[in-house]
Structure 1
Amino acid sequence: MAFQKPVLFTFLYLALVVITARAQKINNHYQLHINKATSPVTVDGRMDESAWQEAESATDFHMITPMDTSRARLRTEVRMTYDDRNLYIIAVNFRGEPDPNVVESLRRDFNFGNNDNFLLFMDPFDDQTNGFSFGANAEGAEWDGLMYDGGSVNLSWDNKWVSKVRNYEDRWVFEAAIPFKSLRYDQEITTWGINFSRYDLTFQEKSGWAPVPRQFPSASLAYTGNLVWDAPPPSAGSNISVIPHLLGGLNKDFQPSDSPSYRREAGVNAKIGLNSSLNLDLTINPDFSQVEVDEQIIDTERFELFFPEKRQFFLENEDLFANFGNENIRPFFSRRIGLDAPILFGGRLSGQINRDWRVGAMNMQTERVSEQNIPSRNFSVFALKRRVSDRSNLGLIFVNKESLGSLADNGNGGTAADAGYNRNIGVEYDLATSSDLWNGNFTLLKSFSSETSGRTFGHTASVLYSDGNWKVQWAQDYVGSDFTAETGYVPRNGYIRLYPEVGYLFFPANGRVLSHGPTISTSTYFDESLLNTDYENKITYSVNFRNGGTLSSWITHRFVELLDPFDPTSISGYNLEAGSRHTWNNLGLEFASKPQSLYTYLFSVQRGGFFAGGDRLYLRSELGFRFQPYINISAYTSYNRLDLPQPWNRSEFWLVGNRLDITFTKNIYFTTFVQYNDQLDNININSRFQWRFQPASDLFVVYTDNYIPGSFSVKSRSLMLKLTYWWNL
């Protein structure tokens, strides 16, 4: 039986569409009225202007955790106002006792759970799906991100705004000015979704102005209140930003030893606001050398690993393109563009057409690299989303990759591995009920390629119910054996996968434990003839402590029938045969300490079987210490020991990394990241200095070294200096 037109369990979605009928927003009666400022506002962390005295306040916050049935113990007071250029917010965060602030550092876009913080979640279209988040920790480190999927925040997004945090004996005050040019909104919409979140680690209390059930993040847009404008929001006016960059540096490869190559380059990005909700991004000769290196792992998996996008150009409205499908079936993955060949130029149009329609279009052109037989390529993506109820959406995506020039002509002597074209088209239904109790996704994909035909469909489906105690999910995937997504992330082909999960949480009324409970899950793979090729059954028991610590234990039973030859060590060169069958069990335990301590730690251990009747021991530890708020030191170590029969015998892999973060101020950072990977036989050092001399304008100095362990012989070395400047026209 082949799934050429996979529609299994589609009826679930047809039934659940009824649930998504339009309903009044849950916290619709929570309203904060915003009026135009009657006096100038200076962002200084003081509430002494008359505009603040006259502004309406939001207070009486509700506790989210540890319990969601009472008012917050800590008092928070928020006011908002605006003028012709900026949206202003001030938040007074009162302390419960004179304890010092708990923060990691002054680094931008901090970890939510490791810092005392205040955050704003804003939904200008009140569609309860997309928006913006701004805020700061208690020492002034800024947080800004794009919101998507109704409650997730992409902190890699960066924009132009200013803030100030001032500390007093009994409180700390956050004040910010957010330019209307930095937002996307419709002037005809005068009621925005909004909520405010406060997190205090000393009291272990998370609270929100509009109440949010504890099973959801405080960022959940389904539970926002309303920001009610006294008049239509001001126009952003001429909204054109030009962001040029200059780059200089040198690279030297020592194996074999080459003469240093020098880089002297320039490029420019431009952001053009076509209206207050639709943006056009353009780039010529972009460079992303300032982006931090990926954190390495020991790879014993059969399929490609996923690393998230960090490059700024691809991030605004990224969810329109990148969130189509699920974590293992993505028709578009922007990291396929520009990592093996330089980008020459590109453009992307994205944003809201109105409250119900969102659109995204992108076109990128990469350079030919003759030395590596990589042709010039053109990448095009088009995405469209239509809201069909309060929080559910229908989507369409089209992805095209075209190889150009003589290297792409495989039929006439070219050697490009990706000759011709590859295209994907897909439709998607995202389910999200007004209460967020039900969520789901249904996606159908079809690929077209110059080299493949046949079983070229892909399909995903999932339904999730979560009410605080119960979490129940049904999910399934199908990828045809000939389905290809060269500009996407689809690490495996020719399978049907079913992976249901059921979990329950108990909430004791008192004691050290906040919640605990079991989760039972299974992941089963079939080939296209419905023969079982893989499964993993797993039982997990998790404990969440009131002080923020966590403990988790699990047991798994796994079966794999190899579809292709596979080296279980990834480096030996000896493969297990295709068709061989392997079964084993695993036990695991992990504990993470409370995050408010200056010294934090995590320890994890797994022990059990492995391929070929072997044995695997996996140990992982993470240690952290902070001299807050300026210095944060962390180190992690993982150890993999594989005991296998001949010819592999015993293999031991160490991965050791440490990171030093020094935040001299909230605008000057120095980071050094060192990684030793035994499996890759490499030591990597990446040091980055960043000076944000104006909002969204930076000077970067980046130094990178790669060494051979033991002899410490240098493999390669580079030093880069990059200057970017954000210029509003």
Structure 2
Amino acid sequence: MKTPILFGLALILSTFIHAQKKNAAFNIQIKKTTETITIDGKGDEETWKYAQPANDFFMVLPMDDRKATQPSEVKMAYDDRQLYLLATFYKTPGNTYVVESLRRDFSFGGNDNFLLFMDPFNNQTTGFTFGANAYGAQWDGTMFNGGSVDLNWDSKWVSEVQVYEDKWVVEMAIPFKSIRYEKGVDKWGINFSRLDLSTNEKSSWTPISRQFPTSSLAFSGTLDWDNPPPNQGLNYSLIPYVLGTVGNSTIEDVTYKDELKVGGDVKLGLSSSLNLDLTLNPDFSQVDVDRQVANLTRFELFFPERRQFFLENADLFSSFGYETIRPFFSRRIGLGVPIIAGARVSGNLNKNLRLGLMDMQTDKVDETGLPSQNFAVLSLQQKVFSRSNIGLMFVNKESLDYNALTDEQKTEYTRFNRNLGLEYNLASSDNKYTGKLFMLKSFGPDDSHNGIAQGANLTYSSRQWNWRVQQEYVSDNFVSEVGFVPRNNYINFNGSIGYLFLPASDKVVSHGPKFFGQYYFDPNLQSTDYVSVLGYEVNFLDRSSLSLDVFNEYVQLLAPFDPTNTDQEELATGTRHHWNGAYLQYQSKPKSLFTYQLVSRLGRYFSGGYRTNINAQLGYRFQPYVSLAATLSYNNLDLPSPWYTTDFWLVGSEADITFTNKLFWSTLFQYNEQSKNFSLNSRFQWRYAPASDLFLVYNSSEQLSPLEGKVWSLTLKLTYWFNR
């Protein structure tokens, strides 16, 4: 196993490159105010006349070698309770504003918007982001891994926007109790980002190379406080809910019971940087439903977590390992099984050490014999060098009253499953090098659950070159019942390389070739499957893009597999299949009222057959109140006997109506011909107070022939956020 050692040496050596913070010279002063600031988007208080401005922004896209053409100015202040921000964004008169909708946590690339990135610990790895689009829709999320953003996090704060012919102004008030920071620290990392789609210009207060997102904390400036931010004092929030649900089911063996339910969450600040979350009898009926996809793979698909309780500091629990080697995946808890209660402690113990501790208790399910189970997770993350860290994770799943189960139930459900992992995450100070090296060990009642998983990677990004090399290994007996590991018993090597030409053109921003290869082997290094992809991509000034890829793929089946995934005949284990094909993709410019993305796949398929796949995502907006979207996916499989020709559609249609930035109604229809299912989700939301909502949600799922039946429900849910 020399490869992991070489990877590890490369990761550690590259850590020492460029040790100083890139934009340390960019500073903005923030001073305390005694004036009452009204959040109205006008900024007419005396405080704003004397606050130091952050202006003279740098262009990031389409080119990063000049100043922005659209002027921007940001000012900040604070008092004993809140952090205030006033930002003014000038534009060329006559240019129209581009806004998709008033929906919270909008799509960054489809809106004229402003984003604030805060790094309260000044560690260039974690933080918070707040923002607004030009018509007042809010954006908030947590930041991790040096610039990744999780928009599922929701906090309590207020903002207002005023729109004029030549500018738009946003004003914010963020309570100190809504964020986490280290007591007594008077320097925070900070940056401001603006996207102006009328000129296709993305800009930043500090200079950032075009290959990096403006959220990259490695390029943040410094927020200098005249005094350290105030002590939060006693900080707690109570978030109770009450709901009523009615419904019915005509599907055989599926029942639906009307219910009245009460529960809620408690948030308690153990310190200004460490938080305790408690949940009792939680309910997630208002959470967005998963988008269905056509599955022609041999493995389980991944769907993201959307439940609020699991989201703050979620990276402490969810980012360990790789996307396909996760020791912890929170969706394994409580989907289809009632959660009785849960507790979680997360945050920073000090500037360099982060802690995540979670315990969840689920109820038993008499119908299936599933016992009551306890899920416990410990995660530690210690910062080392400039922006890297070392992580430790322990995951324990325990079945309670296990000895009371029958022998048949003991065969189906394990008594316990545990995972222990250690990893090193590299992030160089200039963000050009990133990487990871990790080892996982699983423990179970017998040797069939006692295995290992391991991986290493290194990535390099510059203005024109980017490359990545990765290696991973999962033993046959590695088991992660609370994780996401869709494949076992393999060694994998993969990598990519790309180059961008940056022409002096008024239409094309960049173009260039790219290569990706992924190669799987069994533990004896015998090839089992691979794919090699060679492509070319063109990025246009209007933010549209075009790419063409050709691929060469080989699969040796390790288990029987139906190539249509529709419960037809299966190909035998050990059979070998080889094919070629091509992908063509086009993404339209986002500032158009009508937007679309087209992806087509043409080529051979299993058993000498052919597969034709066409995907389209269409959108139209009546700015800013109505956004319509449709997803179309068509697959045609032309195979020999006994499959012959199989084709199926996946159709999704969504209407998103935002009456105001506090009143929303969305409806999603989905028809999946592959799984014979038609579903409808319609959700009305009224944010009648900050972070407090009234939901009315209708869900319907209809099974089509030959398994016919329907289940529907209507839920009314009220939540309120009390805090001090």
TM value normalised by structure 2: 0.98
Cα distance in 2 between the residues matched to 1:684 and 1:611 = 31
Residue 395 of structure 1 aligns to a residue whose secondary structure is strand
* Aligned equivalent of 2:462, options 463, 467, 470: 467
Match of 2:564 in 1: 569
| 1:39 paired to 2:35 | yes
Identify the range of structure 1 (156-165 vs 371-380) with the bigger mean alpha-carbon deviation.
371-380
Match of 2:203 in 1: 207
Cα distance in 2 between the residues matched to 1:664 and 1:684 = 25
**Alignment CA distance shift 1:707-1:57 (3 Å):** same
**Alignment CA distance shift 1:677-1:463 (3 Å):** same
Cα distance in 2 between the residues matched to 1:708 and 1:284 = 33
Match of 1:130 in 2: 126
* Aligned equivalent of 1:619, options 614, 619, 624: 614
Report the alpha carbon displacement of residue 238 of structure 1 after superposing the two structures with TM: 1.1
| 1:596 paired to 2:591 | yes
* Aligned equivalent of 2:56, options 60, 69, 80: 60
- Matched residue pairs, number? 723
Match of 2:628 in 1: 633
Match of 2:655 in 1: 660
* Aligned equivalent of 1:163, options 155, 159, 164: 159
Q: State the Cα deviation string for residues 544-596 of structure 1 (Å, max 9, x = none).
A: 11001111110110000001111111123311100000000011101111000
Match of 1:526 in 2: 521
Match of 1:74 in 2: 70
Q: How does 1:265-304 map to 2 (within 5 A)?
A: 265-304=261-300
Match of 1:196 in 2: 192
| 1:495 paired to 2:490 | yes
Residue 49 of structure 2 aligns to a residue whose secondary structure is helix
**Alignment CA distance shift 1:181-1:74 (3 Å):** same
Amino acid at match of 2:584: L
Match of 1:324 in 2: 320
Q: 8 Å contact 2:7–2:457 — kept in the other structure?
A: no
Report the alpha carbon displacement of residue 680 of structure 1 after superposing the two structures with TM: 1.0
Report the alpha carbon displacement of residue 434 of structure 1 after superposing the two structures with TM: 0.2
Q: State the Cα deviation string for residues 444-493 of structure 1 (Å, max 9, x = none).
A: 00000114348711011100011121011110110000000000000000
| 1:102 paired to 2:81 | no
Amino acid at match of 1:630: Y
Match of 2:19 in 1: 23
Match of 2:342 in 1: 346
Report the alpha carbon displacement of residue 604 of structure 1 after superposing the two structures with TM: 1.3
Cα distance in 2 between the residues matched to 1:442 and 1:713 = 49
Q: 8 Å contact 2:286–2:695 — kept in the other structure?
A: yes
**Alignment CA distance shift 1:485-1:260 (3 Å):** closer
Q: 8 Å contact 2:7–2:456 — kept in the other structure?
A: no
Q: State the Cα deviation string for residues 22-63 of structure 1 (Å, max 9, x = none).
A: 822110000001000141111000121011111110000000
| 1:513 paired to 2:497 | no
Cα distance in 2 between the residues matched to 1:716 and 1:648 = 32
Match of 1:680 in 2: 675
Q: 8 Å contact 1:373–1:407 — kept in the other structure?
A: no
Cα distance in 1 between the residues matched to 2:57 and 2:492 = 44
- Identity percentage over the alignment? 50
Identify the range of structure 1 (489-498 vs 601-610) with the bigger mean alpha-carbon deviation.
601-610
Report the alpha carbon displacement of residue 15 of structure 1 after superposing the two structures with TM: 4.2
Report the alpha carbon displacement of residue 708 of structure 1 after superposing the two structures with TM: 4.3
Match of 2:480 in 1: 485
Identify the range of structure 1 (160-169 vs 447-456) with the bigger mean alpha-carbon deviation.
447-456
Q: 8 Å contact 2:441–2:450 — kept in the other structure?
A: no
TM value normalised by structure 1: 0.97
Match of 2:362 in 1: 366
Match of 1:439 in 2: 434
Cα distance in 1 between the residues matched to 2:238 and 2:551 = 53
* Aligned equivalent of 2:140, options 133, 140, 144: 144
| 1:172 paired to 2:168 | yes
Report the alpha carbon displacement of residue 658 of structure 1 after superposing the two structures with TM: 0.5
Q: State the Cα deviation string for residues 337-360 of structure 1 (Å, max 9, x = none).
A: 000211000101000011110010
Residue 499 of structure 1 aligns to a residue whose secondary structure is strand
Q: State the Cα deviation string for residues 116-147 of structure 1 (Å, max 9, x = none).
A: 00000000001111100000000000000001
Report the alpha carbon displacement of residue 714 of structure 1 after superposing the two structures with TM: 5.3
Identify the range of structure 1 (700-709 vs 115-124) with the bigger mean alpha-carbon deviation.
700-709
Cα distance in 2 between the residues matched to 1:316 and 1:188 = 23
Report the alpha carbon displacement of residue 535 of structure 1 after superposing the two structures with TM: 0.5
Q: 8 Å contact 1:38–1:50 — kept in the other structure?
A: no
Residue 11 of structure 1 aligns to a residue whose secondary structure is helix
Residue 371 of structure 1 aligns to a residue whose secondary structure is coil
Q: 8 Å contact 1:705–1:714 — kept in the other structure?
A: no
Q: 8 Å contact 1:115–1:138 — kept in the other structure?
A: yes
Cα distance in 2 between the residues matched to 1:373 and 1:490 = 25
Cα distance in 1 between the residues matched to 2:471 and 2:10 = 17
Q: 8 Å contact 2:23–2:220 — kept in the other structure?
A: yes
Q: 8 Å contact 1:373–1:416 — kept in the other structure?
A: no
Residue 714 of structure 2 aligns to a residue whose secondary structure is strand
Amino acid at match of 1:60: D
Cα distance in 2 between the residues matched to 1:465 and 1:676 = 41
| 1:375 paired to 2:371 | yes
Cα distance in 2 between the residues matched to 1:359 and 1:7 = 32
Report the alpha carbon displacement of residue 257 of structure 1 after superposing the two structures with TM: 9.2
